[in-house]
Amino acid sequence: MRRVVVTGLGVVTSIGIGKDAFWEALIQGKSGISKVDTFDTEDQFTHYAGEVKNFKPQEYFKKEEIKLMGRASLMSIVSAKLALEDAKLPLGDLRSCRVATVLGTTSGESQEIERACFEWIKKGENAISKDTAIKSQVNNSSANLARIFGIKGINRIFTTACSAGNYAISFGWELIRTNRADIVIAGGADAFSYIAFTGFNQVGIVAPQICQPFDKNRKGMIVAEGAGILILESLDSARVRGAHIYAEILGYGLSCDAFHMVNPHPEGMARCIKNALSRAGITPQDVDYINAHGTGTRHNDKAESKAINEVFPRKVPTSSIKSMLGHCMGAASSIEAIATTLTIKNNLIPPTINYQTPDPECDIDCVPNKARKQKVEVALNNSFAFGGNNCCVVFAKV
């Protein structure tokens, strides 16, 4: 079995586009939450989100290409382009080896689905344009990415809600490890949408203005968008190429709560973490940092804290970058995986911002408000999605 490493990172978020801008904003505790611009929120309960307002597709694509793709596809392709450049992998090299494209999403091209619905309601079903119909497919972000770069290997999309990015990375790890691919472009993408914003508002779990994971007075999540792509390859391949290695992936763990559609269960979370540690061949004592799922909702933060305290005999630094980004849905765990690899590379832990009042039910070290300099050899990336779809990925220094 081959060892699997991360050699390229590309990211599009509300706090920065590209790994350097993203990381700098993270360690400074910068918030990307602002008033919604995409549509009118007058009739909504809340009015703030994590939109990527400085993303300009025309800087990367021709007009005719933009016309054929939805926002999730555009963000995933830009992230992949940045990641491939970071890994120093030209397209010619990609076309001469076995390359897989594996992405995760919650809603796919939800903006295009909305557009089709609005066209149907206003003018009837015959008014739905061909372009809108083509652009609304749930697998489009992975399919368009492969089309733009001419990648003809395995192409797959995971739709396991907010853990989908981690699922994609885990499957990519399996492909490299078992010699079914030489390079894997893995990650996730989700665009901000009326469906997601309205849906979470109706469930009553969206905070009015800020996300406060693990804080006693937390009021909920903040809906957001983004994309994150990691380039995976074998350790031997990376060394032969002289590639920069951010981290090694030691393994992953999966579980299902089998409990409730929207309320998580700490037993399922703890089982997922234990499965990841076992698969990676490490113990709880080996873990230096946990990038939490940390949504800022009452139930999630309480359950995740309980699970962490069940597995770990000591307080492991555990931060939630959703406090800065909001919840990027299917892209969340892939963006958080990028943050985790950069934490390992820089030995610097990003903070959980907006933390004011400790909660006895969230008795963890959440790295409040300021980044922390600390040696990080092994780190976990938690993702615990609706439906109890849990995935935890283990990263480490090589």
Please give the positions annotated as active site: 162, 293, 327
Antiparallel, parallel or unpaired: β 247-256 and 4-13: antiparallel
Q: Give me the residues paired with residue 384 across strands.
A: 390
Q: Which residue has the tokens 């709880």?
A: 284
By C-alpha distance, which of 247, 259, 206, 228 is closest to 390? Answer: 259
Tokens matching residue 357: 């009042």
Q: How far apart are CA 378 and CA 155, in angstroms?
A: 30
Q: Is 174 helix (H, G, I), strand (E, B) or coil?
A: helix
Question: With contact defined as beta carbons under 8 Å apart, do 234 and 158 qualify?
Answer: no
Across 53-75, b (16+ Cβ under 10 Å) vs e yields eebebeeebeeebeeebbbbbbb
Q: Which helix (H) or strand (E) holds 25?
A: helix 19-27
CB burial class (10 A; 0-12, 13-18, 19+) of residue 143? middle
Antiparallel, parallel or unpaired: β 155-158 and 378-385: unpaired
Question: With contact defined as beta carbons under 8 Å apart, do 390 and 255 qualify?
Answer: yes
Q: How many CB atoms lie within 10 A of CB 190?
A: 33
By C-alpha distance, which of 322, 312, 291 is closest to 363? Answer: 312
Cα separation values, 340 from 23, 116, 260, 393, Å = 10, 37, 29, 10
